[in-house]
A and B are shown apart, each in its own frame.
Chain A
Amino acid sequence: MSDRRTAIGPPATGPVAGRSLRTRLLWLGLLPLLVVFPLVLGLLVAVGGSLYDARVQATARSHLATAHSHLYQQQVQLEKYIQQMVQTSRLQAVLADPDQMGLLGEVLAARADAARLDFLVVSDESGRVVAASPSLAPATALPMGYVLSQAITGVLTSGYERLDAEAIATVLPTLRRGADEESATASPAHLLTTGGLVVSAAAHFPYSNRYPNAVLYGGVLLDGNAGVIERVRDVVFPVGRGTGDTGGVAAILAGDRQVATTLGAADGRQAIGTRAPPEVVESVLVRGERLIGTSELLGIPYITSYEPIVGARGEPLGMLLAAIPEAPIRHEKWLLIGSVTALLAVAMLALTMAFRRGTGDVVRRLGSTMQSMRAAQSGDRAVRVPVGRAADEIDQLGAHFNALIETVAHQESERERDLREKSALNAELEHHRNHLEEMVARRTAELARARDEAESASKAKSRFLANVSHEIRTPMNAISGFAQLLRRQITEPRQAKRVDAIIQATMHLLGIVNDILDFSAIEADRVSLESIQFDVPSLLDNVRRIVEAPARDKGLALEIEIDPELVGATLVGDSLRLGQILINLCTNAVKFTEHGGVHVKAASVDADAGSVVVQFDVADTGIGIAADAQDRIFEAFEQAETSATRHHGGTGLGLAISRRLVELMGGQLGVESEPGRGSTFWCRLELRRGRPADGDHVGAAPAARGLPRGARILLVEDNDVSQTVALETLESIGVRADLARNGSEALAMIGSARYDLVLMDLQMPVMNGIEATRRIRALDEGRTVPIVAVTANAFETDRELAREAGMNDFLAKPIDSARLQTTLAHWLEAS
């Protein structure tokens, strides 16, 4: 046989699965890198960037606020100083003394110097100079700005002021400067053209009558004031841990022009004059808003924060600037974004690669699995999917597939083996067919031999039984017969009792023998049931007759209860055997009861037109039967206890026989019992209804029929004793009989004389009854004469044989005289 198996299922078609999965996984793996990464990056740049910028803006705002606060502090300090000065008695005293007017200038100079004021002036209530530092000619008209005019009305005031060129010229003809006289933008000449921005304060001297009303007015020029702006820068951009400054710039602008600034020009000097971009001017100077953004200072991009510097009336005079270079900020921002981007990219890449590796492995394994499956599909049963150690789903798939293939392979090999077996069987069959006839003949011969053996065994058994039966019953017959005859003749009571005892014992022995023979017959399946018409009352009457004496002897009551429905009913059945059974049950009841009594009940359990189900109950108040013994007692040779056997006697066959007989009748026999409380044996069977006045009536009072006088009877009996018994029995019923000792004699006698009836014993030597009957029937004279078989055998086969031979009826030994009478009457009448 070829090794190529059939392929499983249709051939593989369609796209190669591994390839498309691989592609899909490839794209999936690239998803982080190609999609997620740009997305996240975009978000990061957008959101992160804007957040960063907002932070930067906040920082810029706070710088500006710090600068503003610082300048404001300076302003307040100035105001305080002026206020203090007008309150001091020193100045008031100098004012009060006209002689010290010259001193006033010196005092003012000293005070101005102490407070770093660029100018300090005492004026009258019309704004004319009384004394000044730097000194001014008395009665010079001061520029009447808001600060001064407020003070003149009596209100302490401070604020920013724009002094135009003229005012500068008036107030500050000589400027006090720290350094840089040459500075083009900070020179007095310059200021005299452009004007200047000052922070000033003024206060009214307290009204008094000691000195004239006067006002003190002082201020600081902001233009070119490095000290002020550097202080601002130092406050806003303090030096960090390292050295060098952060690059932060602070500036004060008059209008759009930086007038004091820390912005360094190329030569290290202040980049005064740097102009603010127009949009800044528009937003800050014109609209008075704060502006934070990016603008260039000296060509370098800065993050700048501008706010307006307003005069006392709220008019914009200039701007305050705080700025930090943009480059480091931008640098930092992009560094941050860049590093996050790089990190993200690396992570995504790693993710992608790991994914690729993992899925590549999966796809590869799937591919190899698929290959194996394809090979298997094409018929290779030896292939197996390589299974790894991971025990994951793919491995499981492979394992399952391997199992499947093995199952298939196994099944195939099984099938092959079956095929082989089958062909072997076929061969044998062939062989057998060829030799069938031989075998049949041989078998038949074997069977015939077996059958013959069985038959002969059976025949032997039957013969044995028949012989035993005959051998036992014949002397029994004699004893019983003679005893009965004797009984008839004895009147003396004592003698009669003795004879009764003999009869009883005989009956008992006969009963035992019958039991044994019956049992054997039943065991050998040789029992056939009679169909005799009877009625229950008569049946039970017979039973009572047998049982009442033993019961009375033991002092036990015997009650018989019959269901009214059964009283007039005629039933058909084996009444003899039924009677035996009931007698057996009652005798057992009496046997095993010490006190109380036996109650026999017959009831109709179910009845219809054709049959009646009768239940007989035999209840006693005896010792009872234990539950475990209740089945055993129905078995052969069992009594409830072995001791009981010894005590009560018996072969132990009664119940076994009874049950088997009842079962043969189609009924049931059972027991209900409780140890110590008695037993109730019940027998239930269905009996057909009979027609009254039909057939024999066993148990009915023997019909006192007379026998025709002068009837000639021929008795054929070989046994001496049986001869005597029979003859005398016949005599007792008023019948004379001739005797033939054997079949030949009977033939001769029938040939010579006319007889009305022949009583033929079956068991005879020389010629048995059957043979004799046949011969008699062959004679003309013997054709019609009634021949009644008399025998110890009661087997159906014997009866059959007898009937076949031509016999008319049957009588069992020992002969019952009543029965004899009835039978004779029947046949003699008939003829």
Chain B
Amino acid sequence: MLARAAAVVLAGLLAGCGPDEPFRLGFIGGLSDRNSDVGLSGHRAVVLAVEQINRDGGLGGRRVELIARDDAQNPATAVAAARELAESGVDAVIGPFMSSMAAVVAPILDEAGIVLVSPTISSLDFFGHDDHLIRINRTTRDNARDYARVLLDRGQRRVAVALDVRNRAFTESWLAEFRAALAALGGEVVTAVEYVSAADTDFEAVVRAMLEQPADGLFFVSGALDVARLAQRARTLAPTLPIGAAEWAGTEQLVELGGDVVEGLLIIQNFDRADGSQRYLEFREAYFNRFQHDPGYSSVMAHDAATVLFEAVRRRTADQSLKDAVIRDGPYQGLQQVIEFDANGDTQRKVYFTQVRNGTFELIE
């Protein structure tokens, strides 16, 4: 009888030690190949967010497990990664970071009913759809309009544009909006040069093509690494023309890699680098301590995406799907701004116009 009692006691002790089912968070982004700076810094921010929440006791007691997959900016790879995530039964996915990747990934996850929170994609293709895709970013239209205004203010009425059609979903949308916006204000996109970002891309030819028409300024709708290369060429071929780049290129790599060739580049920042708020500073310090790098825009937005997801899970009532919870249970407190979604999972974002000066993004407005 004593032995039986002992066994019961032991069983009881051990039973209490079992963990609940973890919350499986998927991540999909460009972790390698070209323009992987955005994906990598986004990944780091999500890793930080997951580690923080696990240290704070998890999501309602559940541990958060991060399952990260690389899309390598390759559609096939992206599809395979998305399928893999869907099959492994993730509860939600953060990513992708490129509109072109989202074009192939979103349908798969949408079909699987898995909420997809993309920190950075902004193509209009994804605006206004009632699906499982939720965006933390504003649209290309929003940005393009702002750019058109600012460029015109700076006297650039005729603009030559180069766009990386590897990320077609984004760049074409962007160009269309920009063209329309500029035209509406009395400007003109004089040239639009398409190219595909690759190791062997002839950037010189691209720039030359841009310069075929007389223009007041050169504009690159490309990733940071390509912008560095394009800028390098532009500085050689047209040193006096001002250069600008779409928000996509606004990473640390732009200034690290760009060096002196990107000096004076006009670009939007999706977040305030000089934010002195405690919340952002704590995040910045934690990020640096963990990764020995400073966070970039995709870090901030990916972190916001994680915050939105975790908060929605916490606030979700029994009868809500995660998607409903995310859309309806806002607003959410992001690192630098409050995030609220419309019925389609779209949102606004505050942006800051900067110019590269001595390796830093200097606010101009």
What does DSSP make chain A's interface, helix, strand, loop or mixed? helix
Q: A154 and B224 in contact (CB under 8 A), knowing A79-B292, A87-B256, A206-B259?
A: yes
B3 within 8 A of A: yes
Proximity string of chain B (253-264) to chain A, C-beta cutoff 8 Å, 1 when within and 0 when not? 100111111100
B309 within 8 A of A: no
Contacts of A207 in B (CB 8 A): 228-229, 231-232, 257-259, 261-262
A154–B228 touching, CB < 8 Å: yes
21 A-B interface contacts by CB (under 8 A): A42-B6, A46-B10, A47-B10, A79-B292, A83-B256, A150-B32, A152-B199, A153-B199, A154-B225, A154-B228, A154-B257, A155-B37, A155-B40, A155-B253, A204-B257, A207-B229, A208-B232, A208-B259, A208-B261, A209-B232, A209-B261
Interface positions of B (Cβ within 8 A of A): 2-3, 6, 10, 32-34, 36-37, 40, 199, 224-225, 228-229, 231-232, 235-236, 253, 256-262, 292
Contacts of B10 in A (CB 8 A): 46-47
B236–A209 touching, CB < 8 Å: yes
A52 within 8 A of B: no
Contacts of A150 in B (CB 8 A): 32, 36
Contacts of B33 in A (CB 8 A): 153
> What's the least CB distance linking B171 to chain A, in Å?
18
A747 within 8 A of B: no
> What's the least CB distance linking B299 to chain A, in Å?
15
Contacts of B260 in A (CB 8 A): 206, 208, 210
Q: How far apart are the CA atoms of A534 and B10 in the complex, in Å?
A: 117
Proximity string of chain A (224-242) to chain B, C-beta cutoff 8 Å, 1 when within and 0 when not? 0000000000000000000
- Please give 4 more A-B residue pairs, beta carbons under 8 A apart, in addition to A206-B257, A207-B231, A208-B232: A42-B6, A153-B225, A154-B225, A206-B261
Q: How far apart are the CA atoms of A76 and B231 in the complex, in Å?
A: 30
> What's the least CB distance linking B289 to chain A, in Å?
11
> What's the least CB distance linking A122 to chain B, in Å?
16
> What's the least CB distance linking B98 to chain A, in Å?
15
9 interchain residue pairs of minimum CB distance = A206-B259, A154-B225, A207-B232, A207-B228, A154-B257, A76-B292, A207-B261, A208-B259, A153-B34
A521 within 8 A of B: no
What is the chain A residue whose CB lies nearest that of B40?
A155
> What's the least CB distance linking B336 to chain A, in Å?
25
Interface positions of A (Cβ within 8 A of B): 35, 39, 42-43, 46-47, 76, 79-80, 83, 87, 146, 150, 152-156, 204-210, 213, 313
What is the chain B residue whose CB lies nearest that of A76?
B292
Q: A206 and B258 in contact (CB under 8 A), knowing A150-B32, A153-B33?
A: yes
What is the chain B residue whose CB lies nearest that of A205?
B259
Contacts of A208 in B (CB 8 A): 232, 259-261
Q: How far apart are the CA atoms of A213 and B232 in the complex, in Å?
A: 10
What is the chain A residue whose CB lies nearest that of B224?
A154
Q: How far apart are the CA atoms of A76 and B6 in the complex, in Å?
A: 51
> What's the least CB distance linking A151 to chain B, in Å?
10
Q: How far apart are the CA atoms of A76 and B44 in the complex, in Å?
A: 14
What is the chain A residue whose CB lies nearest that of B239?
A209
Q: How far apart are the CA atoms of A449 and B89 in the complex, in Å?
A: 140
Contacts of A43 in B (CB 8 A): 6
> What's the least CB distance linking B139 to chain A, in Å?
27
B228–A39 touching, CB < 8 Å: no
Q: How far apart are the CA atoms of A758 and B34 in the complex, in Å?
A: 186
A80–B32 touching, CB < 8 Å: no
Contacts of A146 in B (CB 8 A): 32
What is the chain A residue whose CB lies nearest that of B228?
A207
- In-complex Cβ contact of A313 among B32, B37, B259, B292 (8 A): B32
Q: How far apart are the CA atoms of A42 and B34 in the complex, in Å?
A: 63
Q: How far apart are the CA atoms of A208 and B231 in the complex, in Å?
A: 9
> What's the least CB distance linking A175 to chain B, in Å?
29
Q: How far apart are the CA atoms of A150 and B33 in the complex, in Å?
A: 6
B3–A39 touching, CB < 8 Å: yes
> What's the least CB distance linking A560 to chain B, in Å?
107
Q: How far apart are the CA atoms of A146 and B40 in the complex, in Å?
A: 14
- In-complex Cβ contact of B256 among A76, A206, A209 (8 A): A206
> What's the least CB distance linking B150 to chain A, in Å?
25
Contacts of A83 in B (CB 8 A): 256
What is the chain A residue whose CB lies nearest that of B3?
A39
Q: A156 and B235 in contact (CB under 8 A), knowing A39-B3, A80-B292?
A: no
> What's the least CB distance linking A455 to chain B, in Å?
102
Q: How far apart are the CA atoms of A79 and B291 in the complex, in Å?
A: 11
B257–A209 touching, CB < 8 Å: no
Q: How far apart are the CA atoms of A156 and B37 in the complex, in Å?
A: 9
> What's the least CB distance linking A83 to chain B, in Å?
8
Contacts of B228 in A (CB 8 A): 154, 206-207
A156–B256 touching, CB < 8 Å: yes
> What's the least CB distance linking B272 to chain A, in Å?
24
What is the chain A residue whose CB lies nearest that of B225?
A154
Q: How far apart are the CA atoms of A168 and B305 in the complex, in Å?
A: 43
Contacts of B261 in A (CB 8 A): 206-209
Contacts of B259 in A (CB 8 A): 205-208
Q: How far apart are the CA atoms of A222 and B199 in the complex, in Å?
A: 31
Q: How far apart are the CA atoms of A155 and B37 in the complex, in Å?
A: 6
Contacts of A156 in B (CB 8 A): 253, 256
Contacts of B235 in A (CB 8 A): 209
What is the chain A residue whose CB lies nearest that of B231?
A207
What is the chain B residue whose CB lies nearest that of A46?
B10
A155–B199 touching, CB < 8 Å: no
- Which interface residue of A35, A156, A213 has the most chain B CB atoms within 10 A? A156
- Which interface residue of A42, A43, A209 has the most chain B CB atoms within 10 A? A209
> What's the least CB distance linking A185 to chain B, in Å?
34
Contacts of A87 in B (CB 8 A): 256
> What's the least CB distance linking B291 to chain A, in Å?
8
> What's the least CB distance linking A314 to chain B, in Å?
9
Q: How far apart are the CA atoms of A440 and B80 in the complex, in Å?
A: 147
What is the chain A residue whose CB lies nearest that of B261?
A207
> What's the least CB distance linking B59 to chain A, in Å?
23
Q: How far apart are the CA atoms of A209 and B228 in the complex, in Å?
A: 11
Contacts of A209 in B (CB 8 A): 232, 235-236, 261
Contacts of A80 in B (CB 8 A): 292
B236–A155 touching, CB < 8 Å: no
Contacts of B257 in A (CB 8 A): 154, 204, 206-207
- Which interface residue of A46, A87, A146, A208 has the most chain B CB atoms within 10 A? A208
> What's the least CB distance linking B42 to chain A, in Å?
13
Contacts of A153 in B (CB 8 A): 33-34, 36, 199, 225
Q: How far apart are the CA atoms of A272 and B6 in the complex, in Å?
A: 48
Q: How far apart are the CA atoms of A83 and B10 in the complex, in Å?
A: 55
Contacts of A47 in B (CB 8 A): 10
A155–B36 touching, CB < 8 Å: yes
- Which interface residue of A46, A80, A206, A207 has the most chain B CB atoms within 10 A? A207
Q: How far apart are the CA atoms of A384 and B363 in the complex, in Å?
A: 114
> What's the least CB distance linking B259 to chain A, in Å?
3
- Which interface residue of A87, A150, A213 has the most chain B CB atoms within 10 A? A150
- Which interface residue of B33, B253, B257 has the most chain A CB atoms within 10 A? B257
Q: How far apart are the CA atoms of A83 and B294 in the complex, in Å?
A: 13
> What's the least CB distance linking B186 to chain A, in Å?
34
Q: How far apart are the CA atoms of A118 and B40 in the complex, in Å?
A: 27
> What's the least CB distance linking A599 to chain B, in Å?
102
Contacts of B253 in A (CB 8 A): 154-156
Q: How far apart are the CA atoms of A155 and B10 in the complex, in Å?
A: 54
> What's the least CB distance linking A405 to chain B, in Å?
46
Contacts of B34 in A (CB 8 A): 153-154
Q: How far apart are the CA atoms of A749 and B110 in the complex, in Å?
A: 177
> What's the least CB distance linking A76 to chain B, in Å?
5
Q: How far apart are the CA atoms of A213 and B236 in the complex, in Å?
A: 14
What is the chain B residue whose CB lies nearest that of A92?
B259
Q: How far apart are the CA atoms of A213 and B228 in the complex, in Å?
A: 11
Contacts of B37 in A (CB 8 A): 154-155
> What's the least CB distance linking B325 to chain A, in Å?
32
What is the chain B residue whose CB lies nearest that of A154?
B225
> What's the least CB distance linking A169 to chain B, in Å?
26
Q: How far apart are the CA atoms of A80 and B10 in the complex, in Å?
A: 51
